[in-house]
Structure 1
Amino acid sequence: MTAGTSGAEGAREAHEGWRGWREATEDALYGPSGFYRARPEGPAGHFRTSVHASPLFAGAVARLLCRLDEALGRPASLAFVDMAAGRGELVTGVLAALPADVAARTRAYAVEVAGRPAGLDHRIEWLAEAPAGVTGLLFANEWLDNVPVDVAEVDATGLARRVLVRDDGTERLGEPVSGAEAEWLARWWPLGGEEGLRAEIGLPRDTAWASAVATLDAGLAVAADYAHTLGARPPFGTLTGFREGRETPPVPDGSCDITAHVALDACASAGSRAPVHTPPDALLRPQRAALHALGLTGARPPLTLASTDPAAYVRALASASEAAELTAAGGLGDFLWLLQPVGAVDAGALLVDVPDHEEQ
């Protein structure tokens, strides 16, 4: 990779197809022929999320919604907002898992850039943006990692520069990072001066998360993603691609998903400044701890059940296996959950069973 310059050369770079990763990813994922618009199979055809791994995940989210419902005093209208809904798998599963009395008061929303899938439950409203002024639970499972960001890399002089990319994935260094993006790096991902160090500039994700939190009048916003926090940032970033279930080099031509892990602590800070009454007590929890608190332990059923009710034992064993996958260290259990309360909601009380040693 070679260093670029500004001015006339920068204009020529743009003309020749060089642009920042944020702009390139935006087109590759969400443009007219983008990965999320043009592929009928949806995200499930290319990578395995917690939602696709087991219906137990939707059941746990439904239990969280029920706990929140009680904390809110059982409002007449309770919202469940599924951000980056894919083909509506999570919101469909949550509705199916709710008790009848809660389901009757729940308004379900799926937020997605792709069109509404055929046959989706008529109770689900399909939207391009999160609804404003609702009370309830906004759940963003693997949304923020697909909010496009620019990439910075330290050059031979110790200066952080924007990484430019062509549609074929070829990279070079562009102009120095400046302004609000430089401030974000200094606060949330200081790079130091070693050549080759990289960072994903998470400012667009902070903005997106704050906007999502601001749509709630009261309730809880949850983001679940592969993530990192200050003090444990990956030195060379995490930008990567996925296609047909396999990790691939990130190429912004619409042929693959492009993703990068999320600086969720920065998002939490941004969410606490959203233009609504949001108390500064957002929580970060590993997914394994959050799901344990919501009833998913992965514990094997007792062997005595195999002799008294073999069919029930097989079902319980399968369920335990799925719960173990959702909570596994080194896998889905390593996701971080950001729980951001809005109004008089105690996020910690909704996960009262989280062991202290699991907290971040």
Structure 2
Amino acid sequence: MRREATGEWRGWREATEEALYGPSGFYRRPEGPAGHFRTSVHASPLFAQAVARLLCRVDEALGRPGSLAFVDMAAGRGELVTGVLAALPADVASRARGYAVERADRPAGLDHRIEWLAEPPKGITGLLFANEWLDNVPVDIAEVDSEGVRRLVLVRRDGTERLGEPVEGADAEWLRKWWPLPCEEPHAASEGPHVPPERPHPASEGPHVRPEGGHALPEGAQAPAEQAHAPAEGARAEIGLPRDLAWASAVSALDRGLAVAVDYAHVAAARPPFGTLTGFRQGRETLPVPDGSCDITAHVALDACAVPGGHVITQRAALRALGVSGARPPLALASTDPAAYVRALASAGAAAELTAPGGLGDFGWLLQPVGVPADLLVDVADHEEQ
């Protein structure tokens, strides 16, 4: 681990909070998140249109209430809420109210009908949608030391790290339940999808993968039981309890409706052995340095976030069920209506990006119904690919 540096030692959660959301934090920068990475919202208007169709389904399940809320968590510069409201049918749009929840200041020129808030309003009826929010809820990092003890990782402003005190209390309990060491009793495997550790970015060279190390066993040999279950020195985990609490708080804002969290994620059966903490700047992955110069993010244990009744599926399954298909238009259309063919081809390409295996299509969607039938989106789950 890197040692030579000056400055205060802090846990990653505290350091990330200041680096992202402090007065000079990354998310206070004028260019906004879209200046550094591209989410599904930025990839194509098809995404906002699909979310608008989901809001219409929620509207039907709620019996067409007089006021229908759409809450955009971590709204960036309001791109998603703007696109969703614009895509609604007139009868739904007349009853819809848009809320953008974001710590940064309200951007100039945003539709005056959209309320800009620091927290979601309470007692709402409708759809709360959190696209790539939870991955930026700061968390502490735990690392296994040479004696097999999980310790907090401390960091300085320049990214220098060292190990601190052993993880204790509620954080230690969360790790035992949701991210156990090989020697600990594992949590029952989640039914949610394994989401590969990728975050598509323009001009990105792909995520850095830290090698696991070690030596291969001779062919046919088996590791001794005590070695197979021994904690691996250097193994890391992100302590996801703050995200669980943040999600539960967001869901509590709903009186009735549906809450959806979309993120690049992993589940109990396939936690990454060295964690996923990383940084992004100007479309490229970089070392996570908590000085406000880059995004600091880590994948989300969505199965841990889910409150009772929640279910995790892939973005590919959800979007296909909501009418987003990457199928090419019939070639005959090129002869009868060339312009329509070109438009349909472009739409198919955008849909393919949003649903691509190994990319955006593998993101997890945590569906959390509140006061509506649990099978509200059963047809979405039925599209899940095995």
TM-score, normalised with respect to structure 2: 0.85
SS in structure 2 of the partner of residue 349 of structure 1: coil
Match of 2:106 among 100, 116, 125: 116
Q: How many residues align?
A: 337
Deviations 1:57-90 (CA, angstroms, capped at 9, x unpaired): 0000000000010001000000000000000000
Pick from 24, 27, 31: which aligns with 1:36? Answer: 27
- One of 307, 310, 316 as aligned partner of 1:288: 316
> Which structure 2 residue ranges, 5 or more long, are not aligned?
183-230
Match of residue 23, structure 1, among 14, 18, 26: 14
**What code does the residue aligned with 2:376 have?**
A
**Cα distance in 1 for residues equivalent to 2:356 and 2:372:** 33
Match in the other structure for 1:331: 359
CA 258–314 in structure 1, closer or farther in 2 if over 3 Å, else same? same
**Aligned equivalents of 2:10, 2:55: Cα separation in 1:** 42
Instruction: Indicate whether 1:244 and 2:282 are aligned.
Output: yes
CA distance, structure 2, for counterparts of residue 81 and residue 357 of structure 1: 26
Q: Secondary structure at the match of 2:268?
A: coil
Matched, 1:81 2:71: yes
Aligned to 1:6: none
Q: Do 2:317 and 2:384's aligned partners in 1 also have CA atoms closer than 8 Å?
A: no
Cα distance in 1, alignment partners of residues 118 and 373 from structure 2? 27
The aligned residue for residue 349 of structure 1 is 376
Higher RCO, Cα 8 Å, sep 6+? 2
What is the one-letter code of the residue matched to 2:42?
Answer: H
Kept in 1: contact 2:136–2:296 (CA 8 A): yes
TM-score (norm 1): 0.91
CA RMSD of aligned residues (A): 1.5
Partner of 1:72: 62
Q: Is the Cα–Cα contact under 8 Å of residues 290 and 351 in structure 1 kept in the other structure?
A: no
Judge conservation of contact 2:100–2:115 (CA < 8 Å) in 1: yes
- CA-CA distance at 1:231 after TM superposition: 1.1
Q: CA deviation at 1:2?
A: 8.5
More helix by share: 1
Q: Which residue of 2 aligns with 1:10?
A: none
Question: The residue matched to 2:94 in structure 1 has which SS?
Answer: helix
Provide closer, same or farther for how the CA distance between residues 356 and 309 of structure 1 changes in structure 2, counting only shifts above 3 A. closer
- 1:318 aligns with one of 315, 335, 346: 346
CA distance in 2, matches of 1:44, 1:356: 30
1:124 Cα offset (Å): 0.4
Aligned-partner residue type, residue 284 of structure 2:
R
Alignment of 1:38-53 (within 5 A): 39-53=29-43
What fraction of aligned residue pairs are identical, expressed as a percent?
79
Residues 169 and 250 in structure 1, CA contact (< 8 A), matched pair in contact too? yes
Provide the C-alpha distance between the structure 2 equivalents of 1:357 and 1:47, rounded to a whole number of angstroms: 27
Query: CA separation in 2, counterparts of 1:197 and 1:93?
Result: 42
